[in-house]
């Protein structure tokens, strides 16, 4: 993931029942790669009332031109809200968002 300003996009399946895809991989503040979660409802059953979604930017996996700016261990990252220094070998950006089952399935909302 990128920064906290990145907005996630979700859509419903063709039947309108449940999420059609989970989007990942950010580029230019937009998600580009998709996983169609409606193809495997046994794996993605969403039975629990709440889920935690974790967004992490680990500079060790960033492209070299990004590492040139922030360092391969993230020493150049200073975001006060999302900086995670729990691993002494790297500084990462981390944000955890709690979503309800209804939010994930977009119950009661129309697809835009």
What pLDDT is stored for residue 86 in this prediction? Answer: 92
50 close to 58: Cβ distance less than 8 angstroms: no
Greater model confidence, 110 or 70: 70
CA distance 81 to 95: 9
What pLDDT is stored for residue 41 in this prediction? Answer: 82
State the pTM of this model: 0.56
The residue-averaged pLDDT of 55-68 equals 89
pLDDT band of 21, cuts 50, 70, 90: very low
pLDDT band of 108, cuts 50, 70, 90: low
pLDDT band of 106, cuts 50, 70, 90: confident
Q: How many helices (H) and strands (E) does the chain have?
A: 2, 5
C-alpha dihedral over 82, 63, 53, 21, to 10 degrees?
150
The residue-averaged pLDDT of 41-53 equals 88
Q: DSSP for 32-82, please give it.
A: EEEE-GGG-TTTS---SSEEEEEEEE-GGGS-HHHHHHH-TT-TT---TTT
67 close to 44: Cβ distance less than 8 angstroms: no
91 close to 77: Cβ distance less than 8 angstroms: yes
């Amino acid at each position: 993931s990128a920064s906290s300003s990145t907005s996630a996009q979700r859509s419903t399946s063709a039947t309108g029942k449940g999420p059609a895809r989970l989007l990942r991989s950010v580029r230019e503040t937009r998600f580009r790669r998709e996983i169609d979660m409606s193809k495997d409802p046994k794996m993605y059953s969403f039975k629990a009332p709440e889920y935690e979604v974790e967004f992490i930017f680990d500079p060790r996996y960033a492209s070299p031109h990004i590492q040139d700016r922030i360092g391969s261990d993230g020493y150049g990252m200073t975001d006060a809200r999302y900086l995670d220094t729990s691993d002494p070998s790297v500084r990462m950006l981390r944000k955890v968002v709690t979503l309800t089952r209804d939010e994930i399935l977009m119950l009661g909302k129309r697809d835009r």
